Amino acid sequence: TLSPDVNLAEIILLTEGMTGAQIQAVCMEAGMFAVRKSAFEVTNQDLLDAISKVSGDGHEIEERMFR
Protein backbone atom coordinates (compact mmCIF):
# COMPACT_ATOMS: atom_id res chain seq x y z
CA THR A 1 0.00 0.00 0.00
CA LEU A 2 1.22 3.50 -0.78
CA SER A 3 1.36 6.05 1.99
CA PRO A 4 -0.68 9.23 1.43
CA ASP A 5 2.62 11.18 1.44
CA VAL A 6 3.73 9.64 -1.87
CA ASN A 7 4.12 12.31 -4.54
CA LEU A 8 3.48 10.36 -7.73
CA ALA A 9 4.26 13.35 -9.94
CA GLU A 10 7.73 13.53 -8.40
CA ILE A 11 8.26 9.77 -8.71
CA ILE A 12 7.21 9.87 -12.38
CA LEU A 13 9.66 12.69 -13.04
CA LEU A 14 12.50 10.88 -11.28
CA THR A 15 11.93 7.60 -13.11
CA GLU A 16 11.69 9.21 -16.55
CA GLY A 17 13.91 7.31 -18.95
CA MET A 18 14.06 4.17 -16.81
CA THR A 19 13.18 0.85 -18.38
CA GLY A 20 10.21 -1.18 -17.21
CA ALA A 21 12.61 -3.54 -15.45
CA GLN A 22 14.23 -0.65 -13.59
CA ILE A 23 10.84 0.68 -12.48
CA GLN A 24 9.90 -2.80 -11.31
CA ALA A 25 13.16 -2.93 -9.34
CA VAL A 26 12.36 0.47 -7.79
CA CYS A 27 8.97 -0.82 -6.64
CA MET A 28 10.48 -4.00 -5.21
CA GLU A 29 13.24 -2.10 -3.40
CA ALA A 30 10.77 0.43 -1.99
CA GLY A 31 8.70 -2.45 -0.66
CA MET A 32 11.79 -3.99 0.92
CA PHE A 33 12.68 -0.68 2.59
CA ALA A 34 9.17 -0.63 4.09
CA VAL A 35 9.40 -4.27 5.22
CA ARG A 36 12.75 -3.63 6.92
CA LYS A 37 11.03 -0.89 8.96
CA SER A 38 8.10 -3.23 9.72
CA ALA A 39 5.87 -0.71 7.96
CA PHE A 40 2.63 -1.52 6.20
CA GLU A 41 2.91 1.31 3.68
CA VAL A 42 5.56 2.41 1.20
CA THR A 43 6.46 6.05 1.83
CA ASN A 44 7.75 8.69 -0.54
CA GLN A 45 11.16 8.38 1.13
CA ASP A 46 11.16 4.60 0.52
CA LEU A 47 10.58 5.29 -3.17
CA LEU A 48 13.26 7.99 -3.32
CA ASP A 49 15.76 5.68 -1.61
CA ALA A 50 14.86 2.88 -4.01
CA ILE A 51 15.28 5.13 -7.05
CA SER A 52 18.69 6.16 -5.75
CA LYS A 53 19.70 2.55 -5.20
CA VAL A 54 18.47 1.33 -8.58
CA SER A 55 19.93 4.26 -10.51
CA GLY A 56 23.19 3.82 -8.64
CA ASP A 57 23.70 7.56 -8.32
CA GLY A 58 21.94 9.72 -5.76
CA HIS A 59 23.25 12.87 -7.47
CA GLU A 60 21.28 11.97 -10.60
CA ILE A 61 18.07 12.21 -8.57
CA GLU A 62 19.00 15.65 -7.27
CA GLU A 63 19.74 16.82 -10.81
CA ARG A 64 16.36 15.59 -12.07
CA MET A 65 14.53 17.26 -9.19
CA PHE A 66 16.03 20.67 -9.89
CA ARG A 67 15.70 20.77 -13.70
Predicted confidence band of residue 54 (pLDDT cuts 50, 70, 90): very high
Q: Which of 35, 57, 44, 42 is nearest to 12 (CA)?
A: 44
Please tell me the predicted confidence (pLDDT) of residue 56.
86
Domains of the chain (ranges; CATH) run 8-65 (1.10.8)
Please tell me the predicted confidence (pLDDT) of residue 59.
52
pLDDT digits (tens, 9 = 90+) for 8-33: 999 999 999 999 999 999 999 999 99
Q: Which residues contact 39 (CB under 8 A, 6 or more apart)?
A: 46
pTM for this prediction: 0.83
Please tell me the predicted confidence (pLDDT) of residue 14.
96
**63 or 34, which is more confident:** 34
